[in-house]
Amino acid sequence: MKLFSIRILLALLLLFSSSVLAISKQQAMNIAQQSNPGRVLGVKQSGNVYQVKILAANGDVRIIVIDASSGKVIR
């Protein structure tokens, strides 16, 4: 019974985690660069979003937030 419960828990965990992050870090970088051209300085995944730090040609550093499940730019 205990082994069955563990297997069910693991299956649910895998199902949940795969649906939360539908896009990869690389895809988040590409999406961020399409809306804000520049050099990617870093990518951080936090909860259900990716934060992509971009250095623009004029020297501004911008943080673009991408929804990890849909790939949409949040800000």
CATH number of the domain that 63 lies in? 3.10.450.40
Domain that holds residue 33: 22-75
**Residue 53 CB contacts under 8 Å (≥ 6 apart), including other chains:** 40, 41, 42, 43, 44, 61, 62, 63
In which residue are the tokens 């800000």 written? 75
Q: Is the pLDDT of residue 11 over 80?
A: no
64 part of a folded domain: yes
Q: Give CA–CA dist 53/39, Å, rounded.
A: 9
The whole-model pTM stands at 0.71
Answer yes or no: is 70 within a domain.
yes
Domain count, the chain: 1
Residue 14 three-state SS: helix
Residue 73 lies in a domain: yes
> For 22-46, what is each residue's pLDDT tens digit?
899 999 999 999 999 999 999 999 9
